[in-house]
Amino acid sequence: MILAGKAQEGRENMREMELKYGCNPNQKPARIFLEGEKGLPIKVLSGRPGYINLLDAFNGWQLVRELKKATGLPAAASFKHVSPAGAAVGLPLDETLAKIYWVDDMGELSPLASAYARARGADRMSSFGDFISLSDVCDVDTAGLIKREVSDGVIAPGYEPEALKILKSKKNGNYCVIEMDPAYEPEAIERKQVFGVVFEQGRNDLEINNSLIANVVTRNKEIPDAAKTDLVISLITLKYTQSNSVCYAKGGQAIGIGAGQQSRVHCTRLAGQKADNWFLRQAPQVLNLKFADGIRRADRDNAIDVYIGEEYMDVLADGAWEKVFQEKPPVFTREEKRAWLGQMKDVALGSDAFFPFGDNIERAYKSGVKYIAQPGGSVRDDNVIETCDKYGIAMAFTGIRLFHH
């Protein structure tokens, strides 16, 4: 087994790494480095990571490390453009989830592989071409799953030899595989530069656990342990999501993340639509779709997205369905979708800042939200609480904002 601790010998003098370019090809030169004598906490085992790859890798590593610490379960995250498309812990998959995540042909997965299947599968459109973060040593099951997905790279604290061999064969040997030193801790003060000006702040080392959910301010005070875990998952995910952001979670995973919106209700709508799509994929109409032979995984995902959206009527009109399906699927009507979504229950929702209006709660309720964690502190808290009480939602005020930029 190749572990980060052993690899540390090879990176003691490696204080900087030259990159091909920065965020865009015109931004040169580019590098990452550590000041002082300390070496970089990573070792590149395959491929050549880029600037954005490493932003995703370091944010994702922090996220999964904290998920593992908070839950005791292996964790995985799927990152795109410095926000998670998905994050999850390693709970077993039922038959339906295995099918919608395209892993029903792989048998029983290891906990780590289950975590990545969940993280990748919740929003497969957004996860296409992701950078993967794993809390534990990458095993063969997880490597086999990664091998078949379109992805830019992976960071983990180590790799089983056979798993590393599988990953090194991806992209003709150019797949990016990074080993992270799990003992590495950054300095207490972090800095970045914008337009030549240096910004400095204390690192956000807030530990997120059940204690943040103790102050339940609604009439409904009941938050079961499973829901508390989902709320913690949502809050840890938000800690590494570009703000404004909200996160819907259920069953040990994020099912809808709304990131980087200027309006909070737009975050809630965006994430809610993603959560709805996650649940719609489990409807019999979608599970029974018969795809044309040889269609690729990404094309199946695209076809499902069109089928559960309003665009399907256009596809029927021009006959394009024949390129994707063996037979013409019946229309999944708006009424049928609403009836199916009415069965989505007990969803948890976290917000990185307070809800300023009750409209966020109204939208969240449409996606089955029963439990909420948010900082509180709005001048309209009473209105938000009243809206929760109208629907029997239990809401906790954490008192902690989780902005991330």
Q: Which helix (H) or strand (E) holds 351?
A: strand 347-351
**Tokens representing residue 197 in the block:** 């000006």
Phi-psi category of residue 131: left, alpha or beta, with phi > 0 → left and psi -120 to 50 → alpha: beta
81 is a catalytic site residue: yes
Name the catalytic one among 69, 81, 168, 171. Answer: 81
Alpha-carbon span 123 to 270, nearest angstrom: 12
- Beta strand 176-180 pairing with 151-156: parallel
Alpha-carbon span 11 to 40, nearest angstrom: 7
Name the catalytic one among 43, 68, 80, 228. Answer: 80
**Tokens representing residue 331 in the block:** 């229309």
Name the catalytic one among 244, 250, 274, 277. Answer: 244
The answer to whether the beta carbons of residues 246 and 265 sit under 8 Å apart is no
Distance from the Cα of residue 95 to its chain's centroid = 21
**Tokens representing residue 7 in the block:** 């690899």
Q: Which amino acid is at 180?
A: M
**Tokens representing residue 155 in the block:** 């960071």
Name the catalytic one among 13, 288, 345, 405. Answer: 405
135 CB-contact burial (10 Å; exposed 0-12 / middle 13-18 / buried 19+): buried
405 is a catalytic site residue: yes
Q: Which amino acid is at 169?
A: S
Radius of gyration of the chain (CA): 22
State the distance between the two ends of the chain, measured CA to CA, in whole angstroms: 36
Alpha-carbon span 55 to 19, nearest angstrom: 12
Backbone phi and psi for residue 279, each to the nearest 5 degrees, phi listed first: -75, -35
Other Cβ atoms less than 10 A from the Cβ of 23: the count is 12
Phi-psi category of residue 386: left, alpha or beta, with phi > 0 → left and psi -120 to 50 → alpha: alpha
Alpha-carbon span 76 to 241, nearest angstrom: 15
Residues with catalytic annotation? 80-81, 244, 405
